[in-house]
Structure 1
């Protein structure tokens, strides 16, 4: 019996995971369409990028899929009168707990691994892959012997360039992005940099492509004067949003960091860039623990909930389960917002309130369901609709 219940949990879980990931990926395709078009990404690179983004989605999808699996399994058993038959055979609801408990524990451990290691692994590889693709595109854009003006505020010329290593020779760069002239009515043309050698490098942490020039000179025109400055190394920074419209990687946010990185900022807030960054880190740490345990809590909560909706069709059951998860996530979001703003309860408390509330509801629901003292909400809803139609028809 436990084996069959567990197998049904797993089958529904796999179907739910596939459906939810597919729906979210479709939304991500629309959101990142400018990235794919701007970098001219092929289907294999696109699938690889979505694979790296998947761990960040799983921390939310796995608890939903866990709740749906337990809810739909016991909703079917309740509607097919299997629970009634088991009770008549002397099997109580408590004796059915091992399968959903084991399933919820496995899902909790899986989500915990994703939370602690998977998210950082996925985001690091996603950023690295995007930067490498952008770096490759920058190399392709810089055709040797051509004045390349495809990058905003930057004109780049190199007599020769290597697509494999990114090395440039006899480079001329006109940079108008740092025009410091106080008189805006006069166009000074920015600065012109000439160097015998250079190189294109990528900085994943900052989300930048950099043109590093060596042993050259900077020419700046100011009215009728031209100033010349020599340098050993000069760096022209180019953010990915300049190279690909609509894409903003920027600095790594707490939601994409590993748990070790979050703990390092927690211990030494001085390494963070701002107080707001520290508050977001303080919220992210308890969130990484609260979401995995939501699998176990919501899975147990789904058992008495399914019995209360006995007779409901599974299509409506999916909507009801998602509605309850929306309530859970709304409470979690309120705790996150209050923690990031620095007002209200500490994040260590506010982010665990949804788990505590649903755990209490789960225990109470299991107790009353085992005692057969629950109300059939489906029957009540159907009776209400029938009486309402009857009154309207009488008029």
Structure 2
């Protein structure tokens, strides 16, 4: 019995976690579509980026998948009357607990591994991979008659452009990368290519002029051949991949910042509060696997007979309520209104109390059969015609 329950829990968990993780990863990739479309990515590259991003989302997905697995498994047993048959044969709810408790403990251990090591490992490798791809694989394609502003501080225009060969006609380049100096380059012809070894895009212009405007005046310089080199990593400035936020830091780095607050240059103290909130979140979410799994057991007994698709929506609703409380604790903790240890652990405490109380009542067969009572009330509700006859 325990083996069959555990295997069903595991199969539902894998299905729920895999589906939710795929949706979140696709959404994240859509946010970076402008960057990824300009690179020649292979299927293996996409798999690596999915693997690096997965721990960041699994920290939240493991608790919800654990709750869904327990809820849907015991809801299915109640709908198929398996739990009724087990109780009739003398098996109490307490005797069914070993399989879900072991399963929740394994989910908690997996969430701890993701929280303490996986998140930092995944985000560090994801950043390194994206930067390396930007430096070595990005191909800048210019369209004729279109102003290109992909590089910060640079405006590039070509009246005619051959994307295949990289040849340009009537080229205009405006350079504002140096403070106080504006350089405008005009050339009748040019060529653009990518140096993947150095991670640069090179513009070679022929027979043109450079108009440089400074505080002292305007200077004009003619040239036969002029090369403009641009670092491909500057294309990532709009994606803010350079700054590491507390939710992407390692467990050791978070404790280092908390123990040495003088190293954080933040007069408002908001960064330190985010660090403390992140530390509590890294511990509260793994614990939520056990708490939500325990909470799902009596809830499945209360909603026995409910169809699985309605049960899935109901379980998602309960988790949404839990996540709302958790998000409120995160916001209040970062704002300094509420202590992070209170805001992050209060949802776990509330759901744990509700789960233990409901489990005791369900084991004594005193739980509320919500679906059965609703069905009974609907069957006894008189229709308008019956009410008129009674009058």
Q: Same fold per TM (> 0.5)?
A: yes
In structure 1, C-alpha distance between the alignment counterparts of 2:50 and 2:137, rounded to whole Å:
20
Greater mean deviation of Cα atoms: 87-96 or 64-73: 87-96
Secondary structure of the equivalent of 2:239? coil
1:298 to 288, 292, 309: 292
1:288-327 equivalences in 2 (<5 Å) = 288-327=282-321
Cα distance in 2, alignment partners of residues 64 and 247 from structure 1? 29
1:168-211 CA-to-partner distances (Å, cap 9, x unmatched) read xxxxx985133336xxxxxx4399xxxxxxx9989xxxxxx999
Shift of 1:312: 0.3
Distance 1:56 1:288 in 2: 11
Aligned to 2:272: 278
C-alpha separation between the residues in 2 aligned to 1:137 and 1:174?
Answer: 25
Q: Quickly say closer, same or farther: Cα 1:222–1:190, change in 2 above 3 A.
A: farther
Deviation of the 1:250 alpha carbon: 3.0
Q: CA deviation at 1:2?
A: 1.1
Q: Is 1:12 the equivalent of 2:6?
A: no
CA distance in 2, matches of 1:392, 1:178: 84
The 2-side partners of 1:26 and 1:224 are apart by 52
Which digits, 9 at most, give the CA deviation of each residue in 1:227-282, with x for residues without a partner?
xxxxxxxxx99795x51585231300011111001000000112224222111111
Q: 1:35 to 1:390 in 2, by over 3 A?
A: farther
> How many angstroms apart in 2 are the aligned matches of 1:2 and 1:380?
30
Q: State the SS of the aligned residue for 1:71.
A: helix
Q: CA contact under 8 A between 1:35 and 1:245: conserved in structure 2?
A: no
Retained in 1: the 8 A contact 2:174–2:184?
yes
Superposed displacement of residue 141, structure 1: 5.3
Is 1:329 matched up with 2:323?
yes
User: Take 1:358 and 1:112, find their aligned partners in 2: how far apart are those partners?
Assistant: 20
TM-score of the aligned structures, taking structure 1 as reference length: 0.76
Matches within 5 A, 1:161-240: 175-180=175-180, 188-189=182-183, 221-224=214-217
SS at match of 1:38: coil
Q: Corresponding residue for 1:89?
A: 89
Offset of residue 25 of structure 1: 2.2
Aligned twin of 2:370: 377
CA distance in 2, matches of 1:152, 1:46: 27
**Secondary structure of 1:189's aligned partner:** strand
Tell me: CA distance 1:154–1:107, structure 2 relative to 1, closer, same or farther (3 Å): same
Q: Of 250, 257, 278, which aligns to 2:249? A: 257
* Distance of 2:353 and 2:179 partners within structure 1: 62
Q: Secondary structure at the match of 1:5?
A: helix
Shift of 1:323: 0.7
* Unpaired runs of at least 5, structure 2: 142-147, 157-172, 186-195, 203-211, 220-228
| Change beyond 3 A, Cα 1:210–1:150 | closer
Q: Could you say what secondary structure the match of 2:41 adopts?
A: coil
Which TM-score applies when normalising by structure 2? Answer: 0.77
CA 1:392–1:44: 2 relative to 1, 3 Å: farther
Partner of 1:29: 29
Q: Does 1:359 align with 2:352?
A: yes
CA contact (8 A) 1:177 1:190 kept: no
Over 3 Å counting, the alpha-carbon distance change for 1:133 and 1:83 in structure 2 is: same
SS of 1:39's equivalent in the other structure is: coil
In structure 2, distance between residues paired with 1:58 and 1:243: 29
